Amino acid sequence: MCSSCPPPSSASQSPVIKSPRTLAAAAGLRAPSVKAAPVAAARSASSPRILTTTVGSYPVPDWLAALPSEQAVIDATRVVFDLQRQAGIDLPTDGELYRFDVNHPDTNGMIEYFIRPMAGISSVVGRSITEEFTRHSPMGFRRKPAGVVTGKLGEGSLNLLADCQRAAAVAGGAFKFTVTSPYMLARTLLDHHYGSFNKLTMALGEVLAAQMPGLPATCLQVDEANIPGNPADAPLAAASMNLVLDAIDAGTERAVHFCFGNYGGQTIQKGNWEKLLTFLNALHTDHLVLELAHRPAADLDALKRIDKKIALGIGVIDIKVNHIETADEVAARIEAVEKKVGPGRVRWVHPDCGFWMLKRSIADRKMEALVRGRDKYLGR
Ligand SMILES: [Zn+2]
């Protein structure tokens, strides 16, 4: 996901209980080395012309939060994959449960999971840092920075391969793995080193790019929930995201997810797709994963001008409301987009964003609705 945006302020900094990830590292556990299922596993000659996928996050099961351990993360990831496959999702995600931190249960780790392990970042954030960040105010919805950049950025202990391998070992087929965009991460940091937002953003892009080779996923998705509200930064965001996308192995499907933010059902960023067309067309991606269900109908007009070399993924499940869409509603949303952009342009349908803020029962029924609606539209 996008698991989407972090809450207005980050949580307490004093760790009390070790997160599953920390426990795993402490135990020296390693996921088995596995190969990714090929893209063909998600799309074959017999598969429908429009595939279903999810965006990334899944609600953290209560039993994982109550008794976190490496084994519990693996078990929960199996459950999340199974739920999606049984619902009929063609390309499931791992649910991003490995990012869950019991000390920060009100965030889904979309930012902190990447920022905290990196070299060159201090996560000691007190009053003066918070006040400096507020004056700088790069993100209106975030009061505290995720960290302070104190030196040259490096991977530190960030190891996406280990977490991707853990997911691959229990995926049971094709799956998608997600990474937060360097631009979005840069917006959460207070910079005391680079002296240039551009340099900081590109440095983050280089750190993330170095993590891409060899990731055993069928599809890698870069998540960005901030640029829609800041279209002036689009060239920088595109350049830094392309660093990451270009580092993905040949044969691995590349996806980019965009949304307008999602926290507690709120739209965080103002903006529309129209202003971002040049940016979208500059991305080195195979397909887009766009928030559209919780958007004004006028947004559909912009989709016509997205380069034909980029396949369209459209959000047809609104994750900001608890209403479970009917198959007719989902089918009607797909039809509305294909009427605008022409038949055959839509290759993927999905929820608008990650599911992490919904109740599990709601998320599960929405996944079923997604598949039923796609099937209804295609007459399957
Ligand atoms: Zn999102």
Q: pLDDT tens digit string along 240-262?
A: 999 999 999 999 999 999 987 65
- Given this model, what pLDDT does residue 261 score? 64
Q: What is the pLDDT of residues 188-222, one digit of tens each?
A: 999 999 999 999 999 999 999 999 999 999 999 99
Say how many Å lie between the CA of residue 29 and the centre of ligand 1.
31
Distance of CA 94 to the CA centre of its chain: 11
Regarding beta strands 147-154 and 119-122, do their DSSP bridges make them parallel or antiparallel, or are they unpaired?
Answer: antiparallel
Say how many Å lie between the CA of residue 26 and the centre of ligand 1.
31
Instruction: Reply yes or no on whether the pLDDT at 4 is more than 80.
Output: no
- Given this model, what pLDDT does residue 13 score? 35
Say how many Å lie between the CA of residue 355 and the centre of ligand 1.
9
Buried b (16+ CB within 10 A) or exposed e, 235-269: ebbbbbbbbbbebbeeebbbbbbbbbbbbeeebbb
In 3D space, the residue among 149, 127, 145 whose CA is nearest the CA of residue 136 turns out to be 145
Instruction: Reply yes or no on whether the pLDDT at 371 is more than 50.
Output: yes
More confident residue, 244 or 264: 244
Query: What confidence category does residue 15 fall into, taking pLDDT thresholds of 50, 70 and 90?
Result: very low
Instruction: Reply yes or no on whether the pLDDT at 333 is more than 50.
Output: yes
CB 119 within 8 A of CB 155: yes
Average pLDDT over residues 14-22: 35
Say how many Å lie between the CA of residue 127 and the centre of ligand 1.
30
More confident residue, 347 or 36: 347
In this structure, of 138-152, 226-240, 302-316, 349-363, the range with the lowest mean pLDDT score is 138-152
- Given this model, what pLDDT does residue 137 score? 66
Please give the class, per CATH, of domain 21-116+158-378. Answer: alpha beta
Tokens representing 332 are 């009607």
Buried b (16+ CB within 10 A) or exposed e, 325-351: bebebbbebbeebbebbeeebbbbbbb
CB 375 within 8 A of CB 342: no
Say how many Å lie between the CA of residue 289 and the centre of ligand 1.
9
Say how many Å lie between the CA of residue 375 and the centre of ligand 1.
24
Question: Edge-to-edge, what's the strand order for the sheet holding 219-224?
Answer: 51-52, 346-351, 311-317, 287-290, 253-258, 219-224, 176-180
Whole-angstrom distance, CA of residue 212 vs CA of residue 218 = 12
In 3D space, the residue among 29, 47, 49, 30 whose CA is nearest the CA of residue 38 turns out to be 47
Domain spans of the chain, in order of start: 21-116+158-378
Angle, CA of 217, 220 and 221, to the nearest 5°: 145
Neighbours of ion ligand 1 (CB under 5 A): 2, 4, 225, 259, 353
In this structure, of 90-104, 112-126, 244-258, 289-303, the range with the lowest mean pLDDT score is 289-303
Amino acid at 339: K
DSSP 208-246: HHTT-TT---SEEEEEESSGGG-GGGHHHHHHHHHHHHH
Tokens representing 110 are 């979309």
* pTM listed for this prediction: 0.87
More confident residue, 34 or 128: 128
How large is the greatest C-alpha to C-alpha distance in the chain, in angstroms?
60
Strand, coil or helix: 346: strand
- Given this model, what pLDDT does residue 26 score? 33
Say how many Å lie between the CA of residue 27 and the centre of ligand 1.
33
- Given this model, what pLDDT does residue 302 score? 82
Q: Which of the listed ranges 92-106, 167-181, 225-239 does the model predict with the highest average pLDDT? A: 167-181
- Given this model, what pLDDT does residue 12 score? 36
Average pLDDT over residues 125-135: 91
- Given this model, what pLDDT does residue 275 score? 73
